[in-house]
Every structure is written in C-alpha cells, then in structure tokens.
Amino acid sequence: MYIEVVEGIRPFVEEKPLDNFGSVRIFVKFCLLTMHSMRLYLLLFVLLLSPFFGKTQQDLQIIFVGPWTYPQSGCDVGGNADQLQLAVRNGSVSSTTFGVQIYLYFQVDGGAIVVDSIPALGPNATWQFNFVNNPYDFSACDDTFDIVTWVSYANDPNNTNDTLAYQFINSCTITPGDITGGLTVCQTGNTGTLTHGNYTNGWVQDWEYWDANVGAWTSAGNPYSNTYTFNNLLYETYYRVIRTSAYCPNDTSTYDTVYVDSASIAGWTTGDVTVCSGSNGGWIYSNGVYGNLDDWEFNNSGTWASMGAADSVQYSNLTQTTMYRYLVTNGVCPQDTSDTAYVTVDFNPVGGILWQDDTLCSGPNSDTLFLSGYSGTIVDWYIDSTGTWTSLGVTDTFLIISNMTTTSQFMVELANGVCPNDTSNWITMVIQNAPAIVMCADTAIVIGDTAQICASGGAAWVWSPGITLNDSLLQNPLAFPTVTTDYVYYAMSTNGCMNWDTLTVTVLPPVPPQDSIVITNLITANGDGINDTWAITDVNLLPGTQVKVWNLYGQEVYTNDSYQNDWDGSYKGGKLPNGTYFYWVRLGVYDSEHKGTVTIAGDE
C-alpha cells in the first residue's frame, strides 16, 4: 500500500488489490491540522481490516437538495459572511462506523480548502450541514463562484459520488442609471456619442431608441457597450438602455434626447431692379426662409457689410450698383446664404459739347460736326430747319452735312439705361446765299474765228481758262479757242460765297463749200458697206442739220434734228418697204433747205 500524507493537504490513499477480495479504492479528503501519527496509523488499520470482519459498508455522498444546499444562484442572495450549507447522505442501511470521523470540505474558486466534520450518520439518513465556523463572502455582485464540496469517510466504498461541484452567481438588484450626451444636431450629416452611466450591477442588454414612425421603442443594437454612436438622424430621437443580469429583473435607464434641427434654408430674394443714379429708392424682400434671418448684407465695393436683421431692406439714393443678400440660421445647423439681388445703378447721360456754330454758302457745300465730352449712348442727331426737330437716324459721334440750303440748328440726344435722356448743346449752321449767275448760250465757231461769251452775277468774278480770252476779268470777254473749250464763270458775293457756271464754245473745222455737198438718193441696207445708210457728205461739218422723210402717202417715217448719216431705212423697229420716199433737208451752218427723193432698195 502507498500512503502520502502532507500536513495541511488532503491525502490521497489508494489500496492495492488484496487476494480475492478485489480492489478497494478509498478517496479521503480532509485538512490535517494537528494529528498524532499513532492515531493516523490506527485509523488506517481499521479501514483496511474492516472488510475482513464482514461489516456492512456505508456509501456517503454529497447531494443537491433545494432547500438545504446553499448558496444557490439568484437575485440578491449572497452575503459577506455566508455559511456554506450542504447535504450529506448515507445511502446504506446501516449507520456509519462509530469512531470513524466523517470530514466535510468545500473550496471556492480554487482557493483555500475549508474542512469540518460530523461524528456519525444514521442509515438512509441525510444531514444538513452548515459550515458555521467558516463563513464566506459571497456578496460580490454578478460574479460567478466555482464551488466544490466533498465528503471524506474511511469506510466509503464508492468515491465517485463524494463530490458536488457547481457554480453560484449572485446577481444584485440593478440600478439602471441614465444616459448622457444628448444634444441638438443638424439634420444634414450629424453624428454623436451617448454615454450610459450612474448604474450599478448587471450589464447592457440593448440600446433602444424611440421610433416616432411606429410609436414604439426599437432596438438600436450595440449590447454590452456603455456608449452608442448615432449618425444621420432626421428627427428628434430618444435613447435609453435596457440593463440586465443573470437573475435579477431587467431595468431601464432614464432616456436622453437628441434634438434634430432642420437645415437652414435661406430661400431667395426679390427686388432686382435697375435705377438711375441719385434720386432712387425701393425694397429688397426675403422669400422661402426656414430658420432665423440673422442679417442682411450689402456690397458695392467688393466687401459685404452688415445691415441688420429684418424681413426686407430698403435702399435709397444709390450712386453705384449694389448687391444685397441675407443670412439664415436654423438652430445648430450651418448658416445658409440667399441668392444675390442686384440694384443696378445707371448713371445719368451727359449730352456733351457739339462743335460748333458755322456759316456755309448755299449750293454745293459740306461740313462735319463733332460731339465730345459726352457719356452714355448716342440715340440720334437732330436737325431743325423749320421750327421742328427732325431725326437724322445717325448714332455716330460725327455728322457730315452737305448741300445745305437753309440755316439750321443741330443737336445730339444721349441715353443711358433707365435714366432720363440728355441732349447736347445746339449749334447753328448759317446758310449764306451764293450769287445768282446768268450765262449766255453756248456757241460754236469755225476754227480761227472768235466768239463773245458773257455772264452776269456776283460782286466779283473771273473766267477760266483765261488764256484764250482777251480779259478773264470781264463779264463778256472775247474767246478765240482753237479747240472746243468749256469756260467757267466764277462769281463771289459780298459775304464771300462762291458760285459758278459753265459755257461751251465749240470749235468747228472749216465748212465745206455748199456746192460740194451731195445728198444721196439710195439706201441698200445689205451690209456690204455701200449705201447701207442714207448719206449726206460732210454732214459732220454741218452741225444742226435737220432731216425729215415721208412715204408716198405723206406719212412721216423718219425725222432727226442733228443728222449723222445713221438712218438705214427702218421705221419703228422694222424695215420700210422698198420704194421711193420724199425728204426735206436743212443744212446746218448754211441754213439752206433741200428737197428730193430717196429710194429704198432693201438688201439688193
């Protein structure tokens, strides 16, 4: 037999097989405090020899009996000086052996082993045993105590039921605490963290929020955590915690609220307008505002400046374009800015200076008028010749006038935006009459002859060219040109206005003798270059030669007051019938009349 005894530690005793009695295993657990070695040897001797005496063995066991086993898990069941209580049962029909001590043990969470004893136990009896002398602190809340109890009896034939191990949980009444961290957030993109505190006992079973859509508390998840992070709330929301434990009833914390402010909406402005600089006024209005209108601002210099809070703002006597806007804040949401209203200021146009009064002579004349020092847009130029201003439809900065015959006034109209139009100064263009000229008729001479030309009018005059005149300063000089010449008579009035007119002296070659002039009597318009037209020799030297032709019935078929050998016998676009026709010719220069016949022979 192997025996190991360590003072203060439970011994383990194992008996080897003995002959035909089989194998007996005895498991003894006890705390050895102080024991005399002889007593130990005696006890072991009795245990080993008892089978030989034919005694009935007692089977001791630790059993779980509801009312007798303590502690048992529950709510608020643990104390700081509890007596552990167990039930020991003798499952045999005989009492335990007198003088063989029964030892009872317990151990908590693997800690120190506590031992106590009872002297004997009757047949089929159960003993409720309290460790009166060894109280234990089971008051820790929500802790799990691992408890092992066992019995040690030397004569116990069955050690497998000697031990009872179980867990004890002491749940404590929950103080559910509260929620902190509630705040006000903006509806657009929000987040925050709520904290559960001021609680005792238990743990977080769930976070809940009040769902206004269904009118009930709804799980938000996140168990076992004392914090909860919310995101993107759209409306006011309450949060609370359900706190639980293993055995005590659940309890609910107070709730905290996350208030949600709707987004700030600035809306839009009305009142855009264009005004004229100086005397002006009006209102700019706010529209579609959600939140508090914090301030109006204006800007006419690149920087926004405050105007104060109001539903609308008034402006007056602006001298430059000004912008207006307002700012709106709803609760904690970011400030929103309205659109911008513009009061556009147009400057009064400036008519400028029109240069300048002048005098023109009647007849061919021209001048250019200029506008300077103006601002705005030129609307039109105007002329007044009859007491009424008349549009000229010109928008340039200058005006070209020509051939004026009447003294007239001119001005320019300017505009700018909504401002009243302005006009320039007036200028007057005085028209002085040019001298009237009376000219003698044009004349012709044969080369080598002279002609007297004449004109009248003006306070002073001169002819040009004067090289073929006997005196160009005379009103009726003699002209002796060798070629046809236009003579211009220039006259000036006492006010300096000029006028002129032209007279032509035609120079003719020597006139052929009258008896050398032949009037032909045949037309053959066949294109052979001979008699294609009715010819009068040297008719080009006889200006003013007149001709008339009649048919046999006295109908006039052709007439010309300055004939040049160009009639081919046609009449009203067609050829006259072949035959004889009568003519009358008056030769220029000689002023002599001639009569006869001419024959049209067609294309023969």
The DSSP annotation for 356-393 comes to: --EEEESSS-EEEEEEES-BSEEEEEEEESSSS-EE--
**Residue 7, pLDDT score:** 29
Q: Could you identify the residue written with the tokens 């859509």?
A: 213
CA proximity to 108, closest of 75, 70, 67, 74:
70
Same domain, 426 and 463: no
Q: What number is the average pLDDT over the span 538-549? A: 91
- Residue 24, pLDDT above cutoff 60: no
Same domain, 106 and 19: yes
Measure the CA angle with vertex 61, ends 55 and 66; round to 5°.
Answer: 145
- Which H/E stretch holds residue 168? strand 163-171
Query: How confident is the model over 180-212, as pLDDT tens digits?
Result: 999 999 998 899 999 999 999 999 999 999 988
Q: Which of 153-157, 335-339, 484-488 comes out lowest in average pLDDT? A: 153-157
Query: How confident is the model over 283-341, as pLDDT tens digits?
Result: 999 999 999 999 999 999 999 999 999 999 999 999 999 999 999 999 999 999 999 99
Query: How confident is the model over 225-237, as pLDDT tens digits?
Result: 999 999 999 999 9
d(CA 412, CA 402): 18
Same domain, 443 and 563: no
What amino acid occupies position 375?
A: S
State the pLDDT confidence band at 98, using cuts at 50, 70 and 90. Answer: low
pLDDT exceeding 90 applies to what percent of the chain? Answer: 72
Q: How many CA atoms lie within 13 A of 262 on its CB side?
A: 7
Same domain, 197 and 82: no
**Residue 28, pLDDT score:** 29
- Residue 128, pLDDT above cutoff 70: yes
Query: How confident is the model over 209-225, as pLDDT tens digits?
Result: 998 888 899 999 999 99
Q: Where are the beta strands (DSSP E) in 393-459?
A: 398-402, 408-415, 422-423, 427-432, 438-439, 443-446, 451-452, 455-456
Q: How far is CA 219 from each of CA 190, 211, 253, rounded to the nearest angstrom?
A: 20, 9, 14
pTM of the model: 0.54
Same domain, 321 and 286: yes
Residue at which a domain ends, from 109, 144, 171? 171
Q: What number is the average pLDDT over the span 58-75? A: 87
| SS3 labels along 291-324 | CEEEEEEEECCCCCEEEECCCEEEEECCCCCEEE
Total number of domains in the chain:
6
- Residue 6, pLDDT above cutoff 60: no
**Residue 570, pLDDT score:** 94
Residues 6+ positions from 560 with CB-CB distance below 8 Å: 546, 547, 567
Q: What number is the average pLDDT over the span 487-499? A: 93
- Residue 272, pLDDT above cutoff 60: yes
State the pLDDT confidence band at 525, using cuts at 50, 70 and 90. Answer: confident
Could you list the residue range(s) of the whole structural domain that residue 449 is in? 438-508
Same domain, 106 and 7: yes
Q: What number is the average pLDDT over the span 569-574? A: 93
d(CA 472, CA 485): 14
d(CA 122, CA 120): 7
State the pLDDT confidence band at 96, using cuts at 50, 70 and 90. Answer: confident
Same domain, 145 and 278: no
Q: Are 321 and 344 in contact (CB under 8 A)?
A: yes
Q: What number is the average pLDDT over the span 451-476? A: 96
Query: How confident is the model over 544-560, as pLDDT tens digits?
Result: 899 999 999 999 999 99
Same domain, 414 and 377: yes
Q: What number is the average pLDDT over the span 475-498? A: 94
- Which H/E stretch holds residue 46? helix 37-49
Residues 6+ positions from 413 with CB-CB distance below 8 Å: 351, 378, 379, 380, 381, 382, 421, 422, 423, 424
**Residue 190, pLDDT score:** 94
Residue at which a domain ends, from 346, 381, 409? 346
pLDDT exceeding 70 applies to what percent of the chain? Answer: 90
Q: Are 287 and 267 in contact (CB under 8 A)?
A: yes
d(CA 374, CA 354): 9
Strands 163-171 and 74-75: parallel
d(CA 207, CA 226): 9
Residue at which a domain ends, from 415, 432, 449? 432
Q: What is the mean pLDDT of the chain?
A: 87
Same domain, 520 and 594: yes
d(CA 262, CA 328): 12
Same domain, 6 and 92: yes
Q: For residue 323, what is the domain's CATH number?
A: 2.60.40.10
Q: Are 367 and 429 in contact (CB under 8 A)?
A: yes
Q: What are 61's strand-pairing partners? A: 89
Question: Tokens standing for 196?
Answer: 């559960």
The Cα diameter of the chain in Å comes to: 210
**Residue 82, pLDDT score:** 92
Residues 6+ positions from 417 with CB-CB distance below 8 Å: 274, 276, 344, 346, 347
Q: Where are the beta strands (DSSP E) in 172-280?
A: 178-180, 184-186, 191-197, 203-211, 216-221, 227-231, 237-244, 251-252, 256-261, 268-270, 273-276
Higher pLDDT, 2 or 251: 251
Question: Tokens standing for 5?
Answer: 């005894």
**Residue 345, pLDDT score:** 97
Same domain, 159 and 102: yes
Same domain, 222 and 192: yes
d(CA 57, CA 156): 7
State the pLDDT confidence band at 155, using cuts at 50, 70 and 90. Answer: confident
Query: How confident is the model over 360-398, as pLDDT tens digits?
Result: 998 788 999 999 999 999 999 999 999 999 999 999 999
CA proximity to 291, closest of 261, 258, 257, 260:
261
**Based on C-alpha coordinates, what's the Rg of the chain?**
72
- Residue 4, pLDDT above cutoff 80: no
Q: Which of 37-46, 249-258, 461-470 comes out lowest in average pLDDT? A: 37-46
